[in-house]
């Protein structure tokens, strides 16, 4: 099992995305549990992506339009650093 470390950016953007949506909050919680168990789980559709703020990092699917941007800790491969969360498309997208 992997340890998830949340950055301040991730927490801030997560709060803006899930505000007043219990369904989205539950879905995100389930996605993070899958990520902690197996970052390459097929339902996460994990792949390398070129992001706006972090360069090439891992991206995992949370919902149809919500993506989680993360990377492995350089010192401990069993730690995943959650860098950002945001939309796949539109004005507030996380991809370039």
CATH architecture of 3-87: 2-Layer Sandwich (3.30)
What pLDDT does 93 receive? 78
What pLDDT does 87 receive? 85
Q: What angle do CA 11, 87, 50 make, to 5 degrees?
A: 95
Q: Is 12:6 a contact under the CB 8 Å cutoff?
A: no
What pLDDT does 89 receive? 78
> How many helices (H) does the chain have, and how many strands (E)?
2, 5
What pLDDT does 80 receive? 98
Domains of the chain, by residue range, sit at 3-87
Q: Which residues pair with 95 in a beta bridge?
A: 51
pLDDT beneath 50, residues of the chain = none
Give the whole-angstrom CA distance, residue 67 versus residue 83: 11
What pLDDT does 62 receive? 92
Give the whole-angstrom CA distance, residue 56 versus residue 88: 15
């Amino acid at each position: 099992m992997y340890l998830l470390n949340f950055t301040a950016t991730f927490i801030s953007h997560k709060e803006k995305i899930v505000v007043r949506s219990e369904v989205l909050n539950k879905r995100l919680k389930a996605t993070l549990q899958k990520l902690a168990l197996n970052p390459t789980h097929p339902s996460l559709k994990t792949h390398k992506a070129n992001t706006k703020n972090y360069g090439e990092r891992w991206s995992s699917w949370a919902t149809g339009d919500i993506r989680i941007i993360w990377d492995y800790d350089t010192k401990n491969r069993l730690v995943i650093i959650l860098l950002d969360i945001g939309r796949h498309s539109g004005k507030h997208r996380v991809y370039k």
